[in-house]
Each structure stands twice: as structure tokens, then as C-alpha cells.
């Protein structure tokens, strides 16, 4: 990686996403938490780099990130991760997921040295990061965050279906992180509560100073002793895939120079724009600021 000071380095698998909607045609396109998150952060003005693990023959799917000016480091693997997402009902939050191919776990010795203010673990399932890897990154000194889907989404070794289960090392993992992102389903599994404020308080007590939880209507943030909530303003859900990844990446980007409450409004505005169009965020900073003024002002 270049001798550059990055705002955020995203680590995680890029993948092919096969989306099977309740109605309509099946599509296959590049996806992943890394792609959605990195594109959102870059669109918000952050200096972004990506560390991923994949088959070199598939590097063409990295073009959107490279074209957006990001440095992308590829750790070679035998295959590129492939996710199949099935929507069995009209409710876009009801999904069955299958992890058809996997690029393998990241090892700390594979990850190059880099200078970053923040490192974010953006996995798609529990086949990417383990506790020793997280400890290794923590020892490097940058602010560290993670999407807990990287640990809650657990792949059945026989059926390859992704099951949502409570991570065995959840408190140790959270205690290593400065910021944590969950959705309401993951929060209920990890804390036993589907009340956003209560769940965020429980995760915060495990040692993470800032905790974000998303749901279909909006996003809650626990930062220190304060709690903030911001509803989404999207006019459609055709771009729902990647909602949480985009929200958190936008928050991280804005949080570099702004407080938690303002950063949350920015993130809600950006992801609301993203959800109105399939694929990762491709808007502009000026569009996000305009949406903030229109629908997310104080």
C-alpha cells in the first residue's frame, strides 16, 4: 500500500451478490460490506483504502473502488466469496442467505502496514475474522471498528446457509473496538433485547464507546452517555442491500471532524439517497448536504 495517511481502511471480502427478489428477476453483481462502505466513505470525502482477499482473476469487480481513487490491496485466494440472498416475502428485511464460496480467513501477517486514523472490519460473515486477528489489529494502534454481522452471521459448513447466532467471544471482541455497528436482528441476538436503546446500552457496557444500531425506519447511536436517533428519509427501498454498511461508513467519515449527533444525521441522509437506487452509493457530498437540509435538520 502507498505511503499515504488514510482516514479509513476497510478490511473484508468483496464478493459477488446474487439477489433473488420476492418478485422480479434475479441479479448477480459485485457486492459486500467493503464495497458499499468504501464507496460511501469516498463519496463523503474520506481518504479510503481497502484490504481484501479474493481470487486475482476476479479483480475486475474492484474497478468502482479504484475508479473512485481508492488504494486497493488484494491478498490472493483460490476463490472469491459469493453470497446468495433470497427475499421470500415482500418485506425487504426478511432474507435467507447462503455463502456459496469463501475466500478464507484474514491472517494478521497478510495485512500490510499502513497509516490510518481508523480501521473498519467489514465482513459479510464469520469466515473472515477471528479474535486473534482482531487483537493483532488492535495492537497496531489505529482506532478500530467492526460490523458485528462479521461474527453473528455464521455459515453452516454443510448447507452453506448463513445462520444468525450469538458469537461466543462477543464481549472480548466488543472490548477491543472503539465503535460497533449492528442491525436490530444482530442486537437482539447478542443482547436479548429488541429495544434499541437498551441493546445499545448493553453493548456499550462491554467496552465500546460508540454503538450504532440500524433498523428499517432509522438508526440509533449511543455515544458515551448520550443516545441519538435519526429516521431515514428514503422514498423507495430498491437499494436496500448494503443499508447498514453504508450508514456506518458515512458516519465514520463524517465523525472525523464532527460530533456524534451531526454525524448521525449525515449518515442517515447519505444512506437514504443510496436506498433509492440499486448498488453502492454513487452520489455527491453536495447531494448529501442538501438532503440533510431538506429532511435531517435539527
pLDDT tens digits for range 243-293: 899 999 999 999 999 999 999 999 999 999 999 998 888 899 999 999 999
pLDDT band (50, 70, 90) for residue 237: confident
At residue 31, does pLDDT exceed 90? no
If you ran DSSP here, which 8-state letter would residue 161 be given? B
Residue 295, H or E segment? helix 285-295
Confidence of residue 297 (pLDDT cuts 50, 70, 90): confident
For residues 221 and 212, the answer to whether their CB atoms sit within 8 Å is yes
| Residue 163, C-alpha cell as written in the block | 445462520
Which of 215, 179, 249 is CA-nearest to residue 32? Answer: 249
* Model confidence pLDDT, tens digit, residues 154-184: 999 999 999 999 999 999 999 999 999 999 9
* CA gap 244, 260 in Å, rounded: 17
- Which band of pLDDT confidence, cut at 50, 70 and 90, is reported for residue 215? very high
What distance in Å separates the CA atoms of residue 193 and residue 100, rounded to the nearest whole number? 31
The answer to whether residue 143 sits within a structural domain is yes
Q: How many CB atoms within 10 Å of residue 108?
A: 13
Inside any domain, residue 40: yes
CATH number for the domain that contains residue 170: 3.40.1190.20
Calculate the average pLDDT of the chain: 94
Residue whose cell numbers read 420476492: 22
d(CA 20, CA 64): 23
Q: What is the pLDDT of residue 92?
A: 73
- Total domain count for the chain? 1
226 within domain boundaries? yes
pTM (predicted TM-score): 0.93
Angle between helices 33-43 and 243-255 (to 10 degrees): 40
Cell representation of residue 246: 453504508
From CA 136, how far away is CA 169, in angstroms rounded?
15
pLDDT digits (tens, 9 = 90+) for 70-125: 999 999 999 999 999 999 998 876 889 999 999 999 999 999 999 999 999 999 99
**Nearest in space to 77 (alpha carbons), one of 101, 94, 99:** 101
For 18-37, letters b (16+ CB in 10 Å) and e give bbbeeeeeeeeebbbbbbbb
For residue 270, being part of any structural domain is answered with: yes
Cα–Cα nearest to 280, from 2, 32, 70: 32
Is residue 144 situated within a structural domain?
A: yes
What pLDDT, on a 0 to 100 scale, did the predictor assign at position 238?
83
Answer whether residue 20 is part of any domain. no
Q: Does residue 298 carry a pLDDT above 70? A: no
Inside any domain, residue 69: no
Structural domain including 132 reads 5-12+33-49+117-295
Domain assignment present for 88:
no
Relative to beta strand 115-121, strand 5-11 is parallel
Amino acid at each position: 500500500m502507498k505511503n499515504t495517511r488514510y482516514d479509513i481502511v476497510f478490511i473484508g471480502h468483496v464478493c459477488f451478490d446474487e439477489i433473488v427478489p420476492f418478485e422480479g428477476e434475479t441479479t448477480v453483481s459485485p457486492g459486500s460490506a467493503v464495497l458499499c462502505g468504501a464507496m460511501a466513505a469516498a463519496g463523503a470525502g474520506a481518504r479510503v483504502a481497502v484490504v481484501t482477499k479474493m481470487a486475482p482473476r476476479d479483480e475486475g469487480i474492484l474497478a468502482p473502488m479504484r475508479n473512485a481513487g481508492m488504494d486497493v490491496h488484494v491478498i490472493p485466494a483460490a476463490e472469491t466469496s459469493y453470497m446468495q440472498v433470497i427475499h421470500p416475502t415482500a418485506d425487504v428485511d426478511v432474507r435467507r442467505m447462503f455463502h456459496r464460496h469463501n475466500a478464507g480467513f484474514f491472517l494478521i501477517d497478510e495485512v500490510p502496514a499502513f497509516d490510518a486514523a481508523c480501521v473498519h472490519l467489514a465482513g459479510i460473515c464469520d469466515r473472515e475474522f477471528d479474535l486473534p486477528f482482531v487483537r493483532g489489529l488492535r495492537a497496531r494502534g489505529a482506532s478500530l471498528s467492526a460490523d458485528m454481522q462479521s461474527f453473528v452471521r455464521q455459515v453452516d459448513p454443510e448447507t452453506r446457509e448463513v445462520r444468525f447466532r450469538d458469537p461466543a467471544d462477543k464481549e472480548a471482541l466488543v472490548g477491543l473496538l472503539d465503535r460497533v455497528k449492528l442491525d436490530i436482528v444482530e442486537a437482539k441476538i447478542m443482547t436479548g433485547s429488541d429495544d434499541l436503546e437498551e441493546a445499545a446500552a448493553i453493548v456499550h457496557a462491554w467496552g465500546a464507546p460508540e454503538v450504532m444500531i440500524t433498523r428499517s425506519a432509522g438508526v440509533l447511536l449511543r455515544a458515551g452517555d448520550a443516545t441519538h436517533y435519526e429516521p431515514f428519509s428514503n422514498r423507495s427501498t430498491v437499494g436496500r442491500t448494503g443499508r447498514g454498511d453504508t450508514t456506518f461508513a458515512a458516519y465514520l467519515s463524517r465523525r472525523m471532524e464532527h460530533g456524534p449527533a451531526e454525524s448521525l444525521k449525515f449518515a442517515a441522509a447519505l444512506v437514504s439517497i443510496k436506498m433509492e437506487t440499486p448498488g453502492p452509493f454513487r452520489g455527491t457530498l453536495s447531494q448529501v448536504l442538501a438532503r440533510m437540509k431538506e429532511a435531517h435538520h435539527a
